[in-house]
Amino acid sequence: MASTIRLLAIIEAFTITGPAKNLLQFAELARSRREGPSVEVHAAVFQRPGSPTLFLETARERGLPVHVIPETGTFDRSVLAVLPQLVRKVAPDLVQSHAVKSHFAVRLSGIHRMRRWVAFHHGYTTPDLRARLYNHADWWSLRSARQAITVSQPFREELIRKGVAPGRIAVVHNAIDPNWGAPYREPAAAAALREKLGIAAEAKVILLVGRFSREKDHLTLLQAVAALRADCVRQAHLVLVGDGPERPRIEQAIGELGLGNAVTLTGQAPSAEPYYGIADAAVLSSLSEGSPNALLEAMAVGVPVVATRVGGIPEIVSDGESALLIAPGDRAAMTQALQTILTGDEPARSLAREARRVVTSRYTPEARVRRLIEIYRAIS
């Protein structure tokens, strides 16, 4: 392969989701490499009338060439004719796709026969019947990819069970800039945000960053916060960053648990960085996960973590050393773990210190770029 690899990345991204964030980060670092081949990334983005354009605008601001694929709905078959035309126009060495819809479009359009295809598997959400049908179709799509890249060993094993060849699956964890979020940990910035949100200076802030979807299990966390406030941490205050289909159920639970003054819903945010600046603990209450960016973010900024023992989380952190790990759906264990962090300065400092060491030594963006380029060169 030439000294510059040209890559066409197909993604459905209206806002800055985890996969979108990873793609932007990779594109910036890979094009300016001083050793080995650089990568010239072009992004192809599905866009509907009236849909958010945050990813599109951000990508263009960062100098990433973006090609818009117009569509009228969730799956507009006209995109199948657009994709081969785009491949001929961009002339990439590799085609890369992110998530179910993009995989399906690559497979149906036939562009996997025009260029080598790398499919990024980020796991699945199951909000409705249509999404579950798309998830089922993804196995058919991924079997035709030259390389599937997933984010955890459990996801790799699942792909193998569904018929993807083991030799075509690589595990590559997400990454984080070690300096991510640092300015927002400054006392003045943190105090200003607390005041803006109406959160008292003495409140113990618990933070969850993630889509409001069922697999994130916000409800167990809400129950744990209610238990904390009723018993040992009366100043516990929960901040939920994100939005999604589970919002009505979350709002209902907040009311039923009497947490109206103890929970802040920020909505979708361009970046969660400011909110880590006020956090005393970060939580991942998920029932399933891959390689969660929210975990790496908390580790980078030095916020101690309580997380469920699912997906790739135990591959990144160790229980009692760099995080406190609990079984999914275990409200009592979550309450106890949060109590340990919020009422004990030394346990919290120790967890945060070790987590910071792990993330800076193993999960830097530069290390991820090197690993991905190795994979791209191997399939050339």
pLDDT for residue 1 = 47
| 108 phi, psi to nearest 5 deg | -70, -35
Mean pLDDT value of segment 272-285? 97
Do 348 and 370 reside in the same domain of the chain?
A: no
Q: What is the pLDDT of residues 135-180, one digit of tens each?
A: 778 889 999 999 999 999 999 999 999 999 999 999 999 999 999 9
* Over residues 72-82, mean pLDDT: 86
Question: 96 - beta bridge partners?
Answer: 9, 118
pLDDT at 122: 85
Q: Strands across the sheet with 204-209, in order?
A: 263-267, 236-241, 204-209, 281-284, 305-308, 324-326
Let me know whether 314 and 194 are in one domain.
yes
Question: What would the pLDDT profile of 94-136 be if each residue is shown by its tens digit?
Answer: 999 998 889 999 999 999 999 999 999 987 765 566 666 777 7
pLDDT at position 130 is 65
Whole-prediction pTM value?
A: 0.83
* pLDDT single digits (tens) 83-95: 999 999 999 999 9
Q: Provide the pLDDT for residue 127.
A: 55
What number is the average pLDDT over the span 14-23? 84
Choose from 21-30, 131-140, 253-262 the range with maximum mean pLDDT.
253-262
Q: Which residue has the tokens 């009338």?
A: 49
Quick one: average pLDDT of 231-241?
A: 94
Do 15 and 159 reside in the same domain of the chain?
yes
Residue 240's H or E segment, with its range, is strand 236-241
Our CA angle for 259, 263, 269, nearest 5°, is 155
Residues 166 and 221 in one domain: no
CATH code for the domain in which residue 250 is found: 3.40.50.2000
Average pLDDT, the chain: 92
324 plus 344 within the same structural domain: yes
Tens-digit pLDDT profile for residues 287-329: 999 889 999 999 999 999 999 999 999 999 999 999 999 999 9
**Order of strands, sheet of 66-70, starting from the edge strand that comes earlier in the sequence:** 66-70, 38-47, 4-11, 94-98, 116-121, 147-150, 169-171
Domain check: are 260 and 339 in the same one? yes
Please report, as a single letter, which amino acid is at residue 373.
Answer: I
Q: Are residues 44 and 33 in the same domain?
A: yes
Q: Which amino acid is at 237?
A: H
Whether the per-residue pLDDT at 18 is higher than 80: the answer is no
- Which tokens sit at 305? 């973590």
- Containing domain of residue 335, as a range? 182-362
Q: Mark whether 241 and 287 lie in a shared domain.
A: yes
Q: Do 23 and 169 fall into the same domain?
A: yes
Residues 214 and 170 in one domain: no
Q: Is the same domain home to 83 and 226?
A: no
Work out how many domains the chain is built from and give that number.
Answer: 2
Using DSSP's 3-state secondary structure scheme, residue 281 falls into: strand
**105 lies in the same domain as 162:** yes
Q: What's the confidence (pLDDT) of residue 257?
A: 98
